[in-house]
Structure 1
């Protein structure tokens, strides 16, 4: 039975941290180790972590970053330091369902049986809940209208599909992991890596209660909210596309020697979209499949580019 590493990133998480740790302790799969990387908390987060370290010295270990990294780099640096064959990412404010570790691990083993010795990633669905864990939506992906089948490189260059607080990666992902200067999100970066060099699998069963509250970095968003937000902030969305292109450029610089010729060409085309004229940007997006999920999102892409 493999030891599953669990990476939790914390920052002023005192309100929900205990509930999250207890949900991990209640999981049916018990051979795991939890590493908590704190990013400079000023509340009682560190005291809570220290208490759990004393109570579970063989299972829980806390670390303090020497400087604030932000949630994205905190996760990536923590993953890079991991020694386990399989590692899961964990937010400080959710609740894991009892079979999360077991179900995700089983899905990973199925993926590795088909694609051995490759950087493989598994991600799952989640139930969206309010601050008090009342279920608001039974499926994050149905609510967000994201097509979990489209995790090939061209689609992932334009749109992230992975929900980071549900993912498990194998050791080949960690071995291949390079940390960029700029990126949109850590789960997106892992998705790009796995799409290029390995494989990605989706488990449709929800494995966590994905808590929505005022301090969320990323939250669940329905189609109407998505459309309203995009229409009201077109200039902002253009900058988001540029940031996404910058992420692709960073990926190219770090991995160009490992990419196939086709992958290099595709990523370069995406990274320099903003340098092309109005017509060619749209032609390239359609030609290579740099698209999102659904008609509404893709109309938005073609308008914004």
Structure 2
């Protein structure tokens, strides 16, 4: 009996008819498995009690035009039917989809980054358990990074892009996560990224040169896995922004980290000033960890910059604000920066 097409397969077919590919046909992949001498992409999926949306996410990966990838799923101790859902795919695609179950719960940051350390590949992509990847996501991302590598060989490179924000049933809430959030995607230098992360992990692709900058033991004190990758890329290589939606970014009550509008962002922070002050100090702590690990590899200018940011909590009232303005430790937009000046 012929298997009925999945919901995601039908959705992606309809999506392509409404939103045609942004790149010309001659630049798109053929959709067949590539020869062994081509580069391989490792998709690192972190899962925790994700049974509700796993089928849709995995189906969307398999529906991508680029087929030269392997999917490594790292289960962080799920207690629902996630393992059974995943096994149905590993049984069907034993050389493409691999299941790993953590002995103890690591949390999302360590689960993603430790997953990278366990897998050898030329390129790496983070994958959440509840989104839907658009058909050209992998192809467009790896093509852009390869072009950058041709210009800058052996340099750590990270790419990130945009996403369509949808609800739990994939109805569009906003056509652009970046526009909704108001992030300045061109402010990708170390100073700006010390203060604010712009890179959505589920849109990212980075190369082996960047992955090899990770330490064998992932440190504590990191704000998020994608932010850590962004800092490494900014300090030692390049960051590329791909200005197109790469996935459907699902928002629901179970998100670990989700999107929010600028108005919601500001309202939430005004209501919780003490908590936001602690978040800012945790961000400075992340810089301290970064300096400790990469001190010998940073330039003298970079060392001073990271050190000044890490030391903001211990500086006096005037000095904190002076350093933020002097060295451009800034967020995106006037209101966010006024908020920083209020709570620092």
**TM superposition score category, shorter chain reference:** over 0.9
Counterpart of 1:276? Answer: 315
Counterpart of 1:9? Answer: 46
Counterpart of 1:249? Answer: 288
Matched ranges for 1:106-185 at <5 A: 106-178=143-215, 179-185=218-224
Deviations 1:69-94 (Å, cap 9, x if unpaired)?
00111001001122000011100000
Of 291, 299, 304 in structure 2, the residue corresponding to residue 260 of structure 1 is 299
In 2, Cα distance between the equivalents of 1:2 and 1:52? 23
Bigger radius of gyration among the two: 2
SS at match of 1:29: coil
In 2, Cα distance between the equivalents of 1:269 and 1:30? 45
Deviations 1:240-299 (Å, cap 9, x if unpaired)?
111000100011111101111011111110001011110000001111110000111111
Alignment TM-score, normalising by the size of structure 1: 0.99
Alignment TM-score, normalising by the size of structure 2: 0.88
Coordinate RMSD, CA, aligned: 0.7
In 2, Cα distance between the equivalents of 1:168 and 1:103? 10
In 1, Cα distance between the equivalents of 2:135 and 2:83? 25
In 1, Cα distance between the equivalents of 2:256 and 2:51? 16
Gaps of 5+ in 2: 1-37
Residues 2 and 85, structure 1, Cα contact 8 Å, conserved in 2:
yes
Residues 119 and 194, structure 1, Cα contact 8 Å, conserved in 2:
yes
Counterpart of 1:194? Answer: 233
Residue 114 of structure 1 deviates from its aligned partner by 2.2
Asked whether 1:235 is paired with 2:274, we answer yes
Residues 157 and 270, structure 1, Cα contact 8 Å, conserved in 2:
yes
Asked whether 1:204 is paired with 2:226, we answer no
Of 79, 101, 118 in structure 2, the residue corresponding to residue 64 of structure 1 is 101
Counterpart of 1:38? Answer: 75
Asked whether 1:285 is paired with 2:308, we answer no
Residues 180 and 251, structure 1, Cα contact 8 Å, conserved in 2:
no
In 1, Cα distance between the equivalents of 2:274 and 2:200? 26
Counterpart of 1:55? Answer: 92
